[in-house]
């Protein structure tokens, strides 16, 4: 406990670095999954191959991917860019199938009546389809956010600064409190982000306030 | 990191010296598989009965869902290093983390498997005079088998990835190649080790996916 109090600035610094690596992948996964899911849903065979690719992608362990990427994209092993790109890929692997299911769950009759009411394709997507798929999309983003924030720590063993450094440093110097602080900080960050996403969902989708959508 | 690290890593993989002995690829792969099997097995013994009970009775479902969600936030590396400090270098620390990480998938797989059985089917079984035990073992488990295997698949994929970190705290497995390479700045060796783990993970994932497809009961196959 004294270690934690004496090193609050260290923890804060790593937390900042951690967030800088976690937030871009979450955002990228969400934004890119929307067009990719729509594209996948347009053809049956495309949907099957996207789902299969995603599940295989997610089976690739994170540390080997962090190691492989520098050779593929020409960055250094210790570069945060590797972490951000690898975690974006994992995020997409989780999010694209979820988004595809979310859009498929929107009733075709509802979309048909929106068209009949005169909605242009883009307006129909933004004002009808997206809000109806919203709760399922939110559930997916919450899973992506929590697992991304947890996975950022793995970069610590390669020397990429994040809360994972507390584990690496703690085990080298034999300070259990440092490791415990890293675990607690990571979990808190994940839960806090999750709570913010729930609030964001309530603000943007007021109709879901009564029927809470839980993460699966 | 000059030239092509990938060609160098292929050369590393092709070197016969890396395929024999205690630090050879076959033995490290077997170690890795052994850790994975042990972790998933211990976790299954703890989680599957609980999951089946939760699914059948509908009790404690909230707790099970919350536990599965919270576990996703737990950083693997943190658990491995913390246990290593607390119980010492060796296999106990990684094994404890494997079990903790495998439990949520197995638990969720087991209770969703039981829950997925159509209530009308379960009621019909009850009306026919089946005992609760018979309903569970002859109706709910067979119908939910693909989901149960899906839980095993998720847990296995998680543990294969984590098993690499065993080498970080002094045990064997394929992670050895990565951490040795990291220590000696041998990037081709790190890539070779990474490729081995990725291939192993994909083979396990695909085999379990196949098992998942094969366990759909003949009578429940979608037309």
pLDDT in tens, B161-220: 888 888 888 788 888 888 888 888 888 888 888 888 889 988 998 999 899 888 888 777
How close B60 comes to chain A (CA, Å)? 16
By the 10 Å C-beta count (0-12 exposed, 13-18 middle, 19+ buried), B186 is classed as middle
3-state secondary structure of A9: helix
Return the CATH number at B178.
1.10.3720.10
Give B178's contacts in chain A (Cβ within 8 Å). 63-64, 67
What is the rounded distance in angstroms from the CA atom of residue A52 to the CA atom of residue B1?
A: 33
- Asked if residue A216 belongs to a domain, the reply is no
pLDDT at A215: 46
What is the rounded distance in angstroms from the CA atom of residue A144 to the CA atom of residue A26?
A: 6
pLDDT at B222: 62
User: Tokens representing B134?
Assistant: 């018979």
ipTM score above 0.85: no
pLDDT at B21: 77
Kindly determine whether residue A61 and residue B193, on different chains, have CB atoms separated by under 8 Å: no
What is the maximal distance between C-alpha atoms in chain A? 68
Percent of chain B beyond pLDDT 90? 16
- Asked if residue A81 belongs to a domain, the reply is yes
Kindly determine whether residue A167 and residue B81, on different chains, have CB atoms separated by under 8 Å: yes
DSSP for residue A212: -
- Asked if residue B20 belongs to a domain, the reply is no
DSSP letters for B142-177? HHHHHHHHHHHHHHHHHHHHHHGGGGGGT--STHHH
In chain A, how many domains are there?
Answer: 1
A61: alpha, beta or left? (left if phi > 0; alpha if psi -120 to 50): beta
- Asked if residue A161 belongs to a domain, the reply is yes
Kindly determine whether residue B81 and residue A191, on different chains, have CB atoms separated by under 8 Å: no
- Asked if residue A214 belongs to a domain, the reply is no
Q: Which residue on chain B is closest to A173 by alpha carbon?
A: B85
B-interface mutation test, from A78, A149, A163, A167, most B Cβ less than 10 A away: A167
What is the rounded distance in angstroms from the CA atom of residue A22 to the CA atom of residue A193?
A: 10
How close B201 comes to chain A (CA, Å)? 6
How close A150 comes to chain B (CA, Å)? 5
- Asked if residue B84 belongs to a domain, the reply is yes
| Chain Cα centroid distance, residue A206 | 23
What is the rounded distance in angstroms from the CA atom of residue A21 to the CA atom of residue A100?
A: 26
User: Mean pLDDT, chain B, as a whole number?
Assistant: 86
Q: Using alpha carbons, select from B26, B59, B4 the residue that is nearest to residue B177.
A: B26
DSSP for residue B137: I
Give the domain extent around A186: 1-205
CA–CA–CA angle A129, A135, A136 (5° rounding): 85
Name residues whose C-beta falls within 8 Å of residue B171's C-beta, 6 or more positions apart in sequence: B31, B35, B89, B90, B91, B94
- Asked if residue B220 belongs to a domain, the reply is no
In chain B, how many domains are there?
Answer: 1
Q: Using alpha carbons, select from B55, B96, B105 the residue that is nearest to residue B76.
A: B96
Instruction: Answer yes or no: is pLDDT of B115 > 80.
Output: yes
Give A61's contacts in chain B (Cβ within 8 Å). 160-161, 164, 197-198, 201
Residue ranges in chain B assigned as alpha helix (H):
5-14, 25-57, 61-73, 76-87, 92-115, 119-127, 132-134, 141-163, 175-183, 187-214
Give B193's contacts in chain A (Cβ within 8 Å). 64, 67
Mean pLDDT along residues B114-134: 89
Give B175's contacts in chain A (Cβ within 8 Å). 63
Kindly determine whether residue B72 and residue A180, on different chains, have CB atoms separated by under 8 Å: no
Per-position pLDDT tens, chain A of length 216: 788 888 888 899 999 999 999 999 999 999 999 999 989 888 888 888 888 888 888 888 888 888 888 878 878 878 888 899 999 999 999 999 999 999 988 888 998 999 999 988 888 998 889 999 999 999 999 999 999 999 999 999 888 999 999 999 998 898 899 999 999 999 999 999 999 999 999 998 888 776 555 544
Whether A204 and A130 have beta carbons less than 8 Å apart is answered as no
pLDDT at B1: 45
Q: Using alpha carbons, select from A139, A35, A22 the residue that is nearest to residue A87.
A: A22
User: Tokens representing A49?
Assistant: 């191959």
What is the rounded distance in angstroms from the CA atom of residue B114 to the CA atom of residue B102?
A: 19
Length of chain A in terms of residues written: 216
Give the domain extent around B174: 25-215
User: Tokens representing A47?
Assistant: 């949907």
Whether B190 and B181 have beta carbons less than 8 Å apart is answered as yes
Q: Using alpha carbons, select from B47, B33, B64 the residue that is nearest to residue B100.
A: B47
pLDDT in tens, B70-96: 788 889 889 989 998 888 877 888 888
Residue of B77, B78, B194 lying closest to A68 (CB–CB): B194
Return the CATH number at A32.
1.10.3720.10
Kindly determine whether residue A60 and residue B198, on different chains, have CB atoms separated by under 8 Å: yes
- Asked if residue A78 belongs to a domain, the reply is yes
B-interface mutation test, from A69, A71, A191, most B Cβ less than 10 A away: A71
DSSP for residue A195: H
DSSP letters for A105-145? TS-HHHHHHHHHTT--HHHHIIIIIHHHHHHHHHHHHHHHH
Whether B63 and B69 have beta carbons less than 8 Å apart is answered as no
- Asked if residue A215 belongs to a domain, the reply is no
Name residues whose C-beta falls within 8 Å of residue B43's C-beta, 6 or more positions apart in sequence: B98, B99, B100, B102, B103, B106, B155, B159
Kindly determine whether residue B77 and residue A157, on different chains, have CB atoms separated by under 8 Å: yes
């Amino acid at each position: 406990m004294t270690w934690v109090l004496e090193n609050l600035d260290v923890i804060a610094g790593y937390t900042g670095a951690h967030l800088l690596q976690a937030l871009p992948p979450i955002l990228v996964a969400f934004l890119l999954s929307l067009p990719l899911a729509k594209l996948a849903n347009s053809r049956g065979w495309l949907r099957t191959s996207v789902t299969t690719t995603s599940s295989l992608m997610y089976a690739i362990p994170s540390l080997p991917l962090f190691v492989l990427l520098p050779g593929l994209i020409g960055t250094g092993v210790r570069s945060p860019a590797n972490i951000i790109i690898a975690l974006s890929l994992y995020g997409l692997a989780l999010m694209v199938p979820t988004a595809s299911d979310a859009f498929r769950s929107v009733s075709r009759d509802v979309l048909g009546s929106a068209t009949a009411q005169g909605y242009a394709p883009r307006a129909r997507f933004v004002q009808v389809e997206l809000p109806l798929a919203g709760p399922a999309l939110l559930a997916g983003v919450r899973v992506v956010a929590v697992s991304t924030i947890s996975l950022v720590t793995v970069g610590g063993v390669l020397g990429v600064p994040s809360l994972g450094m507390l584990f690496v440093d703690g085990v080298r110097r034999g300070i259990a409190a440092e490791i415990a602080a890293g675990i607690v900080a990571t979990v808190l960050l994940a839960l806090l982000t999750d709570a913010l996403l729930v609030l964001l969902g309530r603000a943007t989708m007021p109709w879901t306030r009564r029927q809470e959508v839980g993460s699966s | 990191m000059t030239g092509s690290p990938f060609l160098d890593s292929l050369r590393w993989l092709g070197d016969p010296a890396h395929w024999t002995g205690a630090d050879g690829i076959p033995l490290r792969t077997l170690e890795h598989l052994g850790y994975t099997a042990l972790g998933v097995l211990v976790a299954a013994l703890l989680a599957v009965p609980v999951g089946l009970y939760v699914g059948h009775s509908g009790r404690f479902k909230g707790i099970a869902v919350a536990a599965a969600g919270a576990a996703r936030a737990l950083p693997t590396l943190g658990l491995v290093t913390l246990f290593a400090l607390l119980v010492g270098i060796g296999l106990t620390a990684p094994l404890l983390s494997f079990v903790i990480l495998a439990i949520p998938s197995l638990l969720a797989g087991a209770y969703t498997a039981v829950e997925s059985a159509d209530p009308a089917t379960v009621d019909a079984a009850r009306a026919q005079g089946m005992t609760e035990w018979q309903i569970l073992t002859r109706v709910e488990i067979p119908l939910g088998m693909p989901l149960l295997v899906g839980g095993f698949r998720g847990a296995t994929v998680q543990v294969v990835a984590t098993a690499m970190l065993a080498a970080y705290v002094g045990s064997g497995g394929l992670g050895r190649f990565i951490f040795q390479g990291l220590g000696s700045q041998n990037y081709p060796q790190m890539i070779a080790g990474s490729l081995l783990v990725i291939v192993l993970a994909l083979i396990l994932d695909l085999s379990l996916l196949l098992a998942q497809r094969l366990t759909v009961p003949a009578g429940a196959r979608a037309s």
